[in-house]
Structure 1
Amino acid sequence: MLPKLSFILGGAASGKSAFAEQLVIQTGAPRVYIATAQVFDAEMRAKVDAHLTMRGTDWRTIEAPTDLSDAFASINQDEVVLLDCATMWLSNHMMAEADIAAETEGLLAQINDCSGRVVVVSNEVGMGIVPDNALARRFRDAQGKLNQQIAAQAELAVFVVAGLPNVLKGQLP
C-alpha cells in the first residue's frame, strides 16, 4: 500500500512524473493532480495541455501555483494526491520574493494535515555545475533544502534516473 507521503525525485525529463502517476494509478483510489506550473507563453500552454490530455479524465486537476492550502484541504480521505511539482512551486515563490522558510513550513504542514495520501514530485538540481549567478545559486540551495525536508518527512523516497526507479527510503508497494 502506498504510504501517507511518497517523494519522487529526479532530473529534468528523467521519467519521475510518469513514475509518480503510475504509483498513484496503481492504488486504484480516486486521484487528484495538483499542478503548480504557471502558463506564461504558448509553449508552456501546449505542454500543460498535452499533460492534461495524457492523464485523461480520471484525474481531478487543481491548478495551484503557490497557495496549496485550499487544494490540500479539499482532498478526501480515500483520494491520492499527486503534487507535481515542488520545483515549480518553489520557483513561483522565489520569483514572488516570498519568505521561502515560512512557505516551506506551511507546505510541510499542509502535506502532513492532508486527509489523503500524497505523492510529491521534485527535481534534483544539485548534481550539475555550480550556477553562474546569485539567483540560480539561491534557487539550487533552496531546492536542495526543500527536497531534504520533504524526504525526511516521507515514508517512501524514490530517485528516478532514465525512467528507472531507485528506492532511497521505504519500500515500493
Structure 2
Amino acid sequence: MAVVLITGGARSGKSQRAEARARSFPGRPVYIATAEALDAEMAERIARHRARRGDDWIERETPLDLVAALDATDGSGARLVDCLTLWLSNLLHAERDWSGEAALLAAALRRQRSPVILVTNEVGLGIVPDNALARSFRDAAGLLNQVIAEVADEVEFVVAGLPMKVK
C-alpha cells in the first residue's frame, strides 16, 4: 500500500501526474472527485478532466464524505482523490469541522490496503491575502496539507509539469 500526496500550484500538472501514478498500480483505478459542477465553468473543467482520463476509470463523486468513499473502494485498484483543496472548501461551506475531518482522513489513510494518491493545491506561496476569509482558507489548506503529508509515504511537488520528490 502507498499513500502519495501530490501538491503544486494551479495548472502545475499535478492532476496529470497523479493520474499517471494511479495508473502505475495494478487494477482499474478509482477516481474520487471532490468537485461539484455548481456553475458552467466548473462543469467544463470536470468535462475536460473526464475526457483526458478516458473510460478506464471507476468514478465516485464525493464532495464531503471522503473517508467513506476511501473505505468503500479499498481493496480494488489505486484511488485518486482530486482534490483535497476543493474538499476543504466544501467542508468549510457546509460549516463542518475541517480539522476533525482532516484527522479522520489521516486515520483512514493509515488503514487503507490499496494505494491512495491525493492531489492538493499549495496555496501558501503567494502574497498574504487581503481579507480574513481568504487568509483563513489559506491557513486551513496549509494545515490540512501538513496533516496528510505526515501520513503520506511519498510527497511530490509539481512545478511546470515536473515532479520534485519532497518525501
Tell me the equivalent position of 2:10.
12
Moved over 4 A (4+): none
Listed as ranges, the matches of 1:1-173 within 5 Å are 3-169=1-167
Distance 1:20 1:85 in 2: 10
Q: TM-score, normalised by structure 2?
A: 0.95
Residues 75 and 114 in structure 1, CA contact (< 8 A), matched pair in contact too:
no
Q: Share of identical aligned residues, percent?
A: 47
What displacement does 1:16 show? 0.4
Distance 1:76 1:152 in 2: 21
Distance 1:99 1:25 in 2: 33
What displacement does 1:123 show? 0.3
Q: TM-score, normalised by structure 1?
A: 0.92
Residues 35 and 84 in structure 1, CA contact (< 8 A), matched pair in contact too:
yes
Q: Which amino acid aligns with 2:69?
A: A
**Worse-matched range after superposition: 25-34 or 141-150:** 25-34
Distance 1:105 1:24 in 2: 24
Q: Which runs of 5+ in 2 are unaligned?
A: none
Residues 34 and 86 in structure 2, CA contact (< 8 A), matched pair in contact too:
yes
What displacement does 1:114 show? 2.5
Q: Which runs of 5+ in 1 are unaligned?
A: none
What displacement does 1:72 show? 1.0
What displacement does 1:29 show? 2.5
What value does the CA root-mean-square deviation take over the aligned residues? 1.2
**Worse-matched range after superposition: 85-94 or 37-46:** 37-46
Residues 17 and 84 in structure 1, CA contact (< 8 A), matched pair in contact too:
yes
Residues 3 and 151 in structure 2, CA contact (< 8 A), matched pair in contact too:
yes
What displacement does 1:9 show? 0.5
Q: Which amino acid aligns with 1:123?
A: N
Q: Which amino acid aligns with 1:32?
A: V
